[in-house]
Amino acid sequence: MRISLFRRLASTAVALGLGSLGLLGAGAAPAQAAVSDCPQGYFCAWGDTGSTGPMFKTQSSRATLGTWDNKFRLIINRTPGFACTFDAPNYVDGAGRYANEGFPTSIASRSVSSVKIVRTLRECDQEAYPYWLSETSPKAAGFGDMNGDRRADVLVRDLVGRLWFLPGDGGGKLVGSGGWNVFDAMVRHGDFSRDAREDVIVREKATGRLWLYPGTGTGGLGARKLLGNGGWNAMSRIAAFGDLTGDARSDLLAVERSTGKLWLYPGTSTGTLGARKLLGNGGWNGMNALVGVGDMNGDGRADLYAREASTGKLWLYPGKAGALGARVLVGTGGWNGMTMLIGNGDWSGDGRLDLIATQVESRMLYRYPGTGTGRLGAGDWLGGGDWWDLNGAF
Ligand SMILES: [Ca+2]
Ligand SMILES: [Ca+2]
Ligand SMILES: [Ca+2]
Ligand SMILES: [Ca+2]
């Protein structure tokens, strides 16, 4: 629905023959000169399509428009994000229209009564972060819980590189104000820095560096520390895992792109990564998701879920002493339909570890309860489909 509204607006601009701002700026006809008067960073409006009369401009949202109420006839958005216009004050209207790409748009109805200036399209009528709900677990999972309240939480990156912490009560908190889009891998699974608070590990795409963002214990992140000084771009996939080596320290798994080998990078007493050990001798590039799901089968050792790219099957690789055991089929197919698979502990509150998955097409988040045997029960979906317009969750 949102997209069709946006398209309608774009076609309005086309109908006006106002294909691009560049065209207007270069060869502006006198009647359109006012459009180019709108400064970069502003949303502007005029009371007439062809007028050079008074111009309304703003850099921030306006819940009411005062003397400009129901007066906009031509608008243009030159903010870095989105300008959403509404037919009622306080951003209320089921038929909100969107001005996006910097071309002038006619408002024939003159019905605009409020304007919202936001960074991402979803914020026109939703929160910047999606809805996430979890129950309090009877026991701490040791991961998937940045704030230590035994509720499974989620970290979400939006399209403009902000990081949001979703504690599991439907709300969200900004924990990274920007810049997170430079990372092409983001993982977490318990504590690496040895302070009993869950941390985040990310890979910087441009440099191949691996960074540790220590968790503050409240969902936020402290000053980052260099964990790997380059070379991590040689890995096709990285997964934080929990403890495989049996020393109660969280370890990291990574698949080597050139060989398909699976490597274990053991966490050390000082929060660094030790010398790697070979876990899988090849073929791991055939997996397009690795998820450190914790001890799914209840034998006391952390386990791995992996999604097979060619079949869409979901496999459990049970953790053994410093190795992975023979795999067990968990999902017979269809799992390639999911965008992200996330192991964040026990969202259902029954003490068994679970799985969640997001799907871009349906904009849904699916929740799969763990049975305690390594397998999953039937999934359900959460909320009203606001898992869209995002750039990753973990
Ligand atoms: Ca939590
Ligand atoms: Ca920590
Ligand atoms: Ca296990
Ligand atoms: Ca559960």
Per-position DSSP letters for 22-46, written without gaps between them:
HHHHHH--GGGHHHHTSPTT-EEEE
**According to the model, what pLDDT value does residue 253 have?**
98
CB 91 within 8 A of CB 61: yes
Q: Strand locations in 21-136, DSSP E? A: 43-46, 55-58, 74-77, 82-86, 97-99, 105-106, 114-118
**Which stretch of DSSP H or E encloses residue 15?**
helix 2-15
**According to the model, what pLDDT value does residue 50 have?**
76
Please list, in sequence order, all residues whose beta carbon lies within 8 angstroms of the beta carbon of residue 11, skipping any fewer than 6 positions away: none
Ligand 1 mean position, distance from CA 150 (Å): 5
CB 36 within 8 A of CB 158: no
Ligand 1 mean position, distance from CA 262 (Å): 30
Residues around ion ligand 1, judged by CB within 5 A, are 145, 147, 149, 151, 153
**According to the model, what pLDDT value does residue 34 have?**
66
Domain 132-393 fold is Tachylectin-2; Chain A (2.115.10)
Ligand 3 mean position, distance from CA 31 (Å): 71
CB 95 within 8 A of CB 101: no
Residue with tokens 């704030």: 147
Burial code of 312-325, b = ≥16 C-beta within 10 A, e = fewer? Answer: bbbbbbbbeeeebe
Ligand nearest, relative to CA of residue 151:
1
Amino acid of residue 256: E
**According to the model, what pLDDT value does residue 96 have?**
65
**According to the model, what pLDDT value does residue 17 have?**
37
Ligand nearest, relative to CA of residue 169:
1
**According to the model, what pLDDT value does residue 26 have?**
34
Please list, in sequence order, all residues whose beta carbon lies within 8 angstroms of the beta carbon of residue 282, skipping any fewer than 6 positions away: 259, 260, 261
Tell me the C-alpha distance between 389 and 303, whole Å: 31
Ligand nearest, relative to CA of residue 292:
3
Ligand 1 mean position, distance from CA 214 (Å): 15
**Displacement of CA 170 from its chain's centroid (Å):** 15
Burial code of 71-93, b = ≥16 C-beta within 10 A, e = fewer? Answer: bbbbbbbbbebbbbbbbeeebeb
pLDDT tens digits in sequence order for the chain, 394 residues long: 333 333 334 334 433 333 333 333 333 344 444 688 899 999 999 998 876 789 999 999 999 999 999 999 999 999 999 999 999 999 987 666 676 667 899 999 999 999 999 999 999 889 999 999 999 999 999 999 999 999 999 999 999 999 999 999 999 999 999 999 999 999 999 999 999 999 999 999 999 999 999 999 999 999 999 999 999 999 999 999 999 999 999 999 999 999 999 999 999 999 999 999 999 999 999 999 999 999 999 999 999 999 999 999 999 999 999 999 999 999 999 999 999 999 999 999 999 999 999 999 999 999 999 999 999 999 999 877 999 999 999 9
Closest CA to 309 of 236, 212, 234, 205: 236
Q: Strands 82-86 and 303-308, how do they pair?
A: unpaired
Ligand nearest, relative to CA of residue 370:
4
**According to the model, what pLDDT value does residue 51 have?**
61
Ligand nearest, relative to CA of residue 376:
4
Sheet order of strands, 355-359 included: 340-342, 355-359, 364-368, 380-382
Ligand 4 mean position, distance from CA 262 (Å): 28
Tell me the C-alpha distance between 24 and 278, whole Å: 60
Ligand 4 mean position, distance from CA 367 (Å): 10
Ligand nearest, relative to CA of residue 303:
3
Q: Which residues pair with 304 in a beta bridge?
A: 292, 317
Residue extents of the structural domains in the chain: 35-124, 132-393
CB 236 within 8 A of CB 257: yes
Dihedrals phi, psi of 55, to nearest 5 degrees: -115, 130
Q: Which residues pair with 115 in a beta bridge?
A: 62, 85
Ligand nearest, relative to CA of residue 144:
1
Ligand 3 mean position, distance from CA 325 (Å): 10
Class of domain 35-124: mainly beta
Tell me the C-alpha distance between 199 and 220, whole Å: 9
Ligand 3 mean position, distance from CA 324 (Å): 10
Ligand 1 mean position, distance from CA 114 (Å): 37
